[in-house]
A and B are shown apart, each in its own frame.
Chain A
Amino acid sequence: MNIHNYEKIWLVLSMLLIIGFISTVVYGATAVGIEMVNDEGGTIDSTALDEDDRFSEPRVEKVGEDEYEAYVVARQFIFEPNPIEVPANSTVTFYVTSPDVLHGFEVVGTNANAMVVPGEITELTVEVNEPKEYGILCNEYCGGGHHTMEGKLIVVPEDEFELGDSNDE
């Protein structure tokens, strides 16, 4: 088969491009540790969130040094707790669920963005750095008040951070 030299160059370059695309994604998944949000959070009875000790009282809890868990309920048309306050330079795992319909949980302007499905617990872990205020919004149409459904994620300086009253730590 006679392949023109230029065609060989183009073939090689396109292979390199494909290899480049795949290796950056592999780099992101391994070296950086980027995860996809999946169903690892498990399921829950969406009609009985009150009976679940995580979601009966939506809150932020300390689970280790610089490690926090935030239990968030997204319902028509609010996020609880609001605001979600976490200390700077910590690792935060959000557990988000819904008692009513499908919602979205998007920390605006960031890669933290997931669906909130009734009956499922959406689990996502992020690292927060400097003190900053983020908006949270619902990006799945959830009813008449969808456009007003928003919350706040406030990263406060470590020395100013205190857990809510519901925590006795």
Chain B
Amino acid sequence: MVPTMSGENTVREIGHDEFDPKGTLVLILVYFGVLSVMWVFMYFVEFLGNDLTVLV
């Protein structure tokens, strides 16, 4: 039987605001954290700490 958007086989129907993909949110927050830390490390430690830097 082909499942349909709504019909007799629907177990639960939820509205727009009730759909909360918490796992995705956590995943994205973790990714955001990793990205921020990596950016700070790359710029301030690896790049700025890599003397001799071209100045003026």
Contacts and interface: CB of A to CB of B under 8 A. Distances in A.
Interface of A: 2, 4-6, 9-10, 13, 17, 20-21, 24, 28, 32-37, 91, 107, 109-112, 114, 124-129, 134
Contacts of B24: 6
B16 interface: yes
Contact of B54 (A6, A109, A111): A111
Contacts, number: 74
Could you tell me the dominant secondary structure of chain B's interface residues? helix
B34 to A, nearest CB: 12
B32 A112 contact: no
B56 interface: yes
Contact of B25 (A6, A33, A126, A134): A6
Nearest to B47: A111
